[in-house]
């Protein structure tokens, strides 16, 4: 999709700081990091959100999580928070599936 930011970043037509690439998935640094490690894990194929990825290809979703683990292994001792926002109400601003890999600092619990 020519007008999709993350399609263009994953294709390399918009620059980013890549940290890991596979045939199906890219991982690059978030432009506005909220933790010492804040990397976005993105499928190259356009899916609107993580639920669409899961419906289309559980294998691709598993690969996204494997890439997240590999990023965390390299940067923050293998420990990380993985965040998928689904929908505007949940804070999703880019309608192309992505996982936020957050790590490198202690994090409070999100749930009670």
Q: Which residues of the shown chain bind Zn ion in the complex (CB under 5 A)?
A: 1, 4, 6-7, 46, 96
What is the residue-wise DSSP string for 34-91? SSSEEEEEEESS--SSHHHHHHH-HHHHHHHHHHHHHHHHHHSTT--EEE---SGGGT
The only residue of 2, 23, 89, 91 in contact with ligand 5GP, by rule CB under 6 A: 91
Nearest-approach distance from CB 69 to ligand 5GP, in angstroms: 19
- Give the nearer residue to ligand 5GP in terms of CB position, either 33 or 78: 33
Separation of alpha carbons 43 and 50, rounded Å: 10
CA 6 to chain CA mean position, Å: 10
The only residue of 28, 43, 71, 102 in contact with ligand 5GP, by rule CB under 6 A: 28
Nearest-approach distance from CB 93 to ligand 5GP, in angstroms: 4
Q: Please indicate whether residue 46 is annotated as part of the active site.
A: no
């Amino acid at each position: 999709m020519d007008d999709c930011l993350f399609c263009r970043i994953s294709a390399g037509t918009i620059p980013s700081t890549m940290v890991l690439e596979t045939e199906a998935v890219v991982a690059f640094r978030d432009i506005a990091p909220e933790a010492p490690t804040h990397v976005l894990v993105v499928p190259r194929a356009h899916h609107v959100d993580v639920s669409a990825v899961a419906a289309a290809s559980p294998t691709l979703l598993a690969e996204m999580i494997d890439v997240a683990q590999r990023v965390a292994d390299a940067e923050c001792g293998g420990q990380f928070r993985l965040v998928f926002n689904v929908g505007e109400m949940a804070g999703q601003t880019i309608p192309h599936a992505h996982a936020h890999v957050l790590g490198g600092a202690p994090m409070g619990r999100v749930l009670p």
